[in-house]
């Protein structure tokens, strides 16, 4: 589905990723973990054309999308949920959702897309008139994911969805990620909670200093190997 080959990317003239090879197959959850500053967020932003790609290729169904604008990612079925400010707090839940489809000229189709996504997030239907800031941190994350799903993407890029959440809410968010995947959406998941990310993922990549140092399923990535990456051999 998505194949990243020998990717060098970063910001301005600063290279953060050094020759990354990464892929997401149809129907997979692929986790991307690693220490702070490893380049995890930069990898997702590179795929969504939000940082500079210096060399290498990003292929979606064998089409090189590495030089296309961000808007083209959406039309090709890629959605991105950033870790920073994923919703508009001073707007209502309904307004946030409508903002996701504002570019659609067919308003009936836009309403149907919102109704469809609300069926996956029933609690949002009860909070449509509430300001987004009145939602809990976890509920705001779920709203952001709902906004990304409005256009029915094939690939969902999720950056740190559990960041700053209580353990119970972390479980709720990651459960929703699994449900989304079960509906046929592939997921590339950057996650700070390495253990839970590895548990729900079909495969996991471990980044360190802008390079992939480990790849495998949860059986292949033993706790001891992850500890060496995160804690220097503890």
pLDDT tens-digit series, residues 5-38: 999 999 999 999 999 999 999 999 999 999 999 9
Specify the pTM. 0.92
Q: How far, CA to CA in Å, does 97 sit from each of 88, 116, 136, 179?
A: 10, 12, 17, 20
Q: Where in the chain is the domain with CATH 3.40.50.300?
A: 1-77+155-234
Write down the pLDDT at residue 225: 64
Write down the pLDDT at residue 233: 47
Options 3.40.1190.20, 3.20.20.80, 3.40.50.300, 3.40.50.720; CATH of 1-77+155-234:
3.40.50.300
How would you classify the pairing of strands 29-33 and 52-60? unpaired
Write down the number of H helices and E strands in the chain.
9, 10
Write down the pLDDT at residue 234: 38
Write down the pLDDT at residue 104: 74
Angle between helices 107-118 and 137-149 (to 10 degrees): 140
Regions of the chain with pLDDT less than 70: 222-234
Write down the pLDDT at residue 102: 82
Write down the pLDDT at residue 224: 59
Neighbours of 11 (CB within 10 A): 12
Rounded distance between C-alpha atoms, residue 204 and residue 189, angstroms: 9
């Amino acid at each position: 589905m998505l194949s990243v080959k020998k990717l060098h990317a970063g910001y301005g003239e600063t290279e953060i990723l050094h020759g990354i090879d990464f892929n997401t197959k149809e129907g997979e959850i692929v986790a991307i973990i690693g220490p702070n500053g490893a380049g995890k967020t930069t990898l997702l932003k590179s795929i969504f054309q939000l940082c500079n790609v210096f060399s290498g290729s990003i292929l979606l169904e064998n089409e090189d999308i590495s030089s296309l604008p961000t808007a083209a990612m959406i039309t090709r079925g890629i959605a991105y949920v950033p870790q920073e400010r994923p919703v508009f707090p001073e707007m209502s839940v309904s307004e946030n959702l409508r903002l996701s489809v504002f570019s659609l000229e067919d308003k009936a189709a836009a309403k149907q897309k919102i109704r469809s996504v609300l069926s996956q997030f029933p609690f949002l239907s009860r909070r449509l008139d509430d300001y987004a800031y009145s939602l809990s941190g976890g509920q705001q994350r779920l709203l952001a994911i709902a906004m990304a799903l409005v256009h029915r993407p094939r690939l969902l890029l999720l950056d740190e969805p559990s960041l700053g959440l209580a353990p119970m809410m972390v479980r709720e968010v990651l459960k929703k990620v699994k449900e989304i995947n079960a509906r046929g959406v592939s997921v590339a998941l950057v996650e700070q909670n390495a253990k839970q990310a590895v548990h729900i993922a079909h495969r996991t990549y471990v980044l360190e200093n802008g390079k992939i140092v480990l790849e495998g399923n949860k059986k292949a990535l033993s706790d001891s190997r992850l500890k060496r990456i995160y804690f220097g051999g503890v």
